[in-house]
Structure 1
């Protein structure tokens, strides 16, 4: 197995993709190649479902690590690096029912699909993931296919209330973290745990890892890395922490690579 001099971990929404953007820039793909030439690996670390990530990064999909669903599923060159993290189905069903009772919609990421209750089809029809081939609708939880990885609560103006109830109910067992203005994830693992596992797998010291993110679900990754950077448009709760600010993702990573090359 190849080892690397360092690893760069990048969040997607709000980091690689500025809010409102839907396509990864060619500059980022060029950066992946530059990183490899500097003996660095790039990890795409996202709360997104793995099949939502692969098409976004198709030009470099065999050259990066994908840490999807906040680290629940980690893929490299089409192979799972570690056993998946997941939520037991009885508990996942309970969480789903509670979220619906509290006025939120449960978006369930499994090993097979993203699953949504049929009653949410019209409410969320404007969301891009509804048009994807990996979306499934269910009337009863028994119709949800595959192993449950994480559950995302999609709120409608009531995020603070639903988030508080969720943290009280499941915060001791799961990472319950915001991942957008009206969404939060209930996840059995974190991007930070994923960062440490990936770094160990490729024999890269933590001091040679760099992380970039913008929201609450990125905090464990930013804290676990040798150095964490927050984007200029980061969530205020992330900005309040002592991470270095980054206003140019590609430029900052290029400077990191240049310094590493100088050391060699």
Structure 2
């Protein structure tokens, strides 16, 4: 196995893809290749379901580690690097049914597919992931024939109250973190835990790891890294944690590589 000098852990939405950007820039792909030639590895760390994440980085898919579903599924060179983290079936069913009772939409990220309740078909019709061929519908939880890795709640009304309730019910055993204006994730692991597992797998010291993110679910990753950066467009609630701000991802990483 190749020995690496260091590693960059980068969130996707809001970080690699700032301000609603849909496609990864050629400059980022060039940076990944340059870093790899210099002995540095990238980890693409996202709350996204893995089959919606990997196609974005097809150009460099064999040069990076993918940490999908907030670290529940970690892939390297199209193979599992670390065993999946998942939610046991009974708990997954309870969370799913509770969210539905709260009038939120549970999106279940599984090992094989993304699972949505049939009742949400109309409200979710415009979502991009529905057209990708990896979404399955269920009318009851018993129809979900998959390992559930994490559950994302899409909130159609006020979010903060539901996040607080979710933390009261499941916060002792699961990470409950906001990942966008109207969504929060319930996850058995975190981006921070996955950073530690990945750097230990490759034998990289903490001081040689760098993390970049913009949302609450990125904070454990920023804390676990030797150096954590918040993107300049992060909202004030996240900026209150006082990490150094990064206004240009490619420029900042290029500067680190030049040291």
1-side partners of 2:12 and 2:145: how far apart? 26
Is 1:138 the counterpart of 2:138? The answer is yes
- Which residue of 1 is the match for residue 160 of structure 2? 160
Q: How far apart are the structure 1 equivalents of 2:182 and 2:128?
A: 15
Q: TM-score, normalised by structure 2?
A: 0.99
- Look up the match of 1:59: 59
Equivalent residue number for residue 12 of structure 1? 12
Counterparts in 2 of 1:42-53, with a 5 A limit? Answer: 42-53=42-53
Q: Is the 8 A contact 1:69 1:149 kept in 2?
A: yes
- 1:129 Cα offset (Å): 1.2
Offset of residue 199 of structure 1: 0.3
Find the aligned partners of 2:109 and 2:236 in 1 and give their Cα distance: 27
For residue 202 of structure 1, what is the aligned residue in structure 2?
A: 202
**How far apart are residue 157 of structure 1 and its match?**
2.2
Q: Which runs of 5+ in 1 are unaligned?
A: 260-264
In 1, Cα distance between equivalents of 2:236 and 2:170: 24
Shift of residue 177, structure 1, vs aligned partner: 0.2
Matched, 1:216 2:216: yes
Q: Deviations over 1:48-97 (max 9, x none)?
A: 01111111000001110000000001000011011100000111000000
Is the 1:176–1:187 Cα contact (8 Å) retained in structure 2?
Answer: yes
Moved over 3 A (4+): none
Task: Give the aligned partner of residue 255 of structure 1.
Answer: 255
On the 8 A contact 1:166/1:176 being kept in 2, the answer is yes
- 1:123-166 deviation digits (Å, cap 9, x = unpaired): 11111111111111111111112101000000012211211110
How much does 1:178 deviate? 0.3
More moved, 206-215 vs 236-245: 236-245
Q: What is the match of residue 149 of structure 2?
A: 149
Distance of 1:129 and 1:163 partners within structure 2: 24
User: Structure 2 matches for 1:218-257, cutoff 5 A?
Assistant: 218-257=218-257
Cα distance in 1, alignment partners of residues 100 and 159 from structure 2: 13
- The CA distance in 1 between the partners of 2:230 and 2:141, in whole Å, is 38
Instruction: Give the root-mean-square deviation of aligned CA atoms.
Output: 0.7
Partner Cα separation in structure 2 for residue 248 and residue 89 of structure 1: 41
Q: Does the 8 Å contact 1:154/1:182 carry over to 2?
A: yes
**Contact between 1:110 and 1:145, CA under 8 Å: does it hold in 2?**
no
Q: CA deviation at 1:101?
A: 0.5
Q: How many residues align?
A: 259
CA distance in structure 2 between the aligned counterparts of 1:158 and 1:130, rounded to whole angstroms: 25
**Cα shift at 1:18:** 1.1
SS at 2:189's partner residue?
coil
Q: Which residue of 2 aligns with 1:107?
A: 107
Contact (CA 8 Å) 1:173, 1:188: kept in 2 or not? yes
